[in-house]
Amino acid sequence: MTDLDKVIAVTGIGVVSPYGIGLARLHEGLLAGKSCLTQTNGIFPGFEGTTATVGDLPDFPPRPNIRYSRSDRLAMVAAEDAVAGFDRQQAAFRESGVVMASTVGGLSEIDPEIARDASAWYRQNGLARASSYSVARVAASVGEHLAIYGPTVAVSVACASGAMAIALGANMLLDGAASMILAGGSDALCPFTMSGFNSLQSLDREPCRPFDRNRKGLNIGEGAAVLVLETLAGARARGADVLAVLRGWAMTNDASHPTAPQKQGLGLADCIGRALAMAECGVDEIGYVNAHGTGTPLNDIAEANAYELAFRGRSRPVPVSSTKSYFGHCLGSAGCVEAAVAISAIRSGAIYPTLRLTDPIESSAVDWVKDEVRHQPVPTAMSASMGFGGSNTVLVFGDAAGSAAA
């Protein structure tokens, strides 16, 4: 194995967000400071009078096939976008692997009617729709859609799932499981999930305010993103355009609580340290952190504490922002959508501010990016993800030019 076989290149990025299809649309929306969070009434069964703020995709087309849930279709469109221009008839592509994350899967397809008369609901195409319920169906749908028959893996570890799919995909490349991996995640808005977060009193009825002292909770969003990963050796051999390199990654668990993060942020801090070590990257090299930043009282303080620990000794505070303030928390797809944001920041030299951040949590290690876009070189960026059960995943991306000498 050569050094080039150990470097993970990103050669395709597909995104479906409230801004539209494509990384360019995502970048343009963030650059304009456009919030996609809107209020809607009665989104959860049994809470018809309740107002919720969500980041949805109202113009996404209806399902053409009853076997594919909304989460499946979001994933399929993102994957199609990621491989635009690829020669999909080559054996190497057909033998690619698929690693897709989801927490909702086809649960979004369950109607309230199933609780009233389950037998009638299943007779009226319910059984066919039930085939899409499994979160594993999202990964299988991408493979079916693109006629890929390599290894297929489903990931579901709460809100760190999307980032973990990318980390696992990178590990599979290094292990030789496939020469190309499509890694990402997809989740649709789901009444069941909304009701769950509502019962935990984690939702903000207004647009969320990550890392603000007056934060009240999160907003749920939906979307999908897929990254095409291959070794730098493989990418160069086929003359591929390298968009970024995945310099390092790590996965840890707080081993602390089923829903609450560890208060001191120990698990995430450890994850950051491991990812930096793998990337052979010092704390001063990180030009931007796309934070998990949900806007909940517990998560944001734990995450801020993690940055205090992980970036101790840095010569200047690290720039940090949360793009969930634009389009909400996309659950199982959050980590891969935000990985795309981190790569966009590297490629454009733009750091997107956290919206509605007026009174930030005090942190000596963090430079909270707010008010306006910062235009500056970002050769290395980090994306951090946290999830229920204490799951953490950190990804460190570098610019493609930095891979030229590898």
Which residues does the annotation mark as catalytic?
A: 159, 292, 329
CA neighbours closer than 13 Å in the CB half-sphere of residue 83: 28
Amino acid at 290: N
Residues 6+ apart with CB under 8 A from 260: 298
Three-state secondary structure call for residue 334: helix
Residues 6+ apart with CB under 8 A from 67: 128, 129, 131, 132
Helix (H) or strand (E) holding 36: none
Tokens of 36: 């996609």
Give DSSP secondary structure letters for 71-121: HHHHHHHHHHHHTTT--TTSHHHHT-EEEEE-SSGGGGG--THHHH-HHHH
Tokens of 34: 């456009």
Tell whether the torsion through CA atoms of 287, 268, 17 and 93 is positive or negative: positive
What letters, b where the CB count within 10 A reaches 16 and e where it falls short, cover 202-216? Answer: bbbeebbbbbbeebb
Question: What gap in Å lies between CA 102 and CA 104, rounded to an integer?
Answer: 6
* CA nearest to 329, candidates 111, 160, 135: 160
Q: Kindly list the distances between the CA atom of residue 370 and the CA atoms of 1, 8, 308, 381, in Å, as whole numbers in the listed order.
A: 44, 32, 19, 17
Q: How many other C-beta atoms lie within 10 A of the C-beta of residue 80?
A: 16
Question: What gap in Å lies between CA 237 and CA 246, rounded to an integer?
Answer: 18
Question: What gap in Å lies between CA 396 and CA 318, rounded to an integer?
Answer: 14
> ∠ CA 287-289-293 to the nearest 5 degrees?
160
Question: What gap in Å lies between CA 147 and CA 94, rounded to an integer?
Answer: 6
- Residues facing residue 245 across a β-bridge: 9, 398
Question: What gap in Å lies between CA 281 and CA 147, rounded to an integer?
Answer: 38
